[in-house]
Structure 1
Amino acid sequence: MTEVLANYTADISELKQNPCELIKRAEGQAVAILHHNRPSAYLLPAELYEQMIDILEDYALTQELKKRLNDEEKPITVKLDEL
């Protein structure tokens, strides 16, 4: 069985009828759109999507930072006034 990763669900016909009502009813959370009782998509309010993108960008920057800290190159000291 496929896991549904949302507290709210709707089927495709509900989505077609009134997508704005689905978003309102979910109160800022994701809505799993089901097709034959399996998730086929997730409907996200814009604010939640933006938060997710911010988290992904932060994660990518953290991974790059860890990579650079472990590359064994000697760090360069820089003063803010020199930038």
Structure 2
Amino acid sequence: MSYQILSATAASITELKRNPMGTVKEGEGHAVAILNRNEPAFYCVPPELFAYYVELAEDAELNRIADERMKSPDVVTVSLDDL
């Protein structure tokens, strides 16, 4: 079975064990695919990129909630003068 590698940089688990920080730096701020027997086992991401992914996931969840609420018939009309 073939797997798609979703990063420009890949390293083996052995390389990661030998030099963890060097492996992360190889990605130059991007994800590094960690391979086990030439198959992706996981992706190693720097903290800044992980924070960005978490923010994207939170935004997607908030958008889902907003879309769900837009379908609700419980609409309240408010004028700016009432605020």
Tell me the TM-score normalized by structure 2. Answer: 0.89
Structure 2 residue matching 1:39: 3-state secondary structure: strand
**1:1-12 correspondence runs (5 A):** 1-12=2-13
AA aligned to 2:59 is: D
Partner Cα distance (2:25, 2:7) in 1: 15
Cα 1:35–1:78, aligned 2, differ >3 Å: closer, same or farther? farther
Report how many aligned residue pairs link the two structures.
81
After superposing the two structures, state which structure 1 stretch, 38-47 or 70-79, moved more.
Answer: 70-79
AA aligned to 1:77 is: V
Cα 1:70–1:13, aligned 2, differ >3 Å: closer, same or farther? same
Same amino acid, percent of matched pairs? 33
Structure 2 unaligned regions, length at least 5: none
Task: Kindly state the Cα deviation for residue 78 of structure 1 after the two structures are TM-superposed.
Answer: 7.4
Tell me the TM-score normalized by structure 1. Answer: 0.89
Cα 1:78–1:7, aligned 2, differ >3 Å: closer, same or farther? farther
Structure 2 residue matching 1:16: 3-state secondary structure: helix
Partner Cα distance (1:78, 1:7) in 2: 52
Matched, 1:37 2:35: no
Runs of 4+ with >6 A deviation: none
RMSD: 1.6
1:72 alignment partner in structure 2: 73
1:53-74 residue CA offsets vs partner (Å, 9 max, x unmatched): 0010011001100100111212
**1:54-69 correspondence runs (5 A):** 54-69=55-70
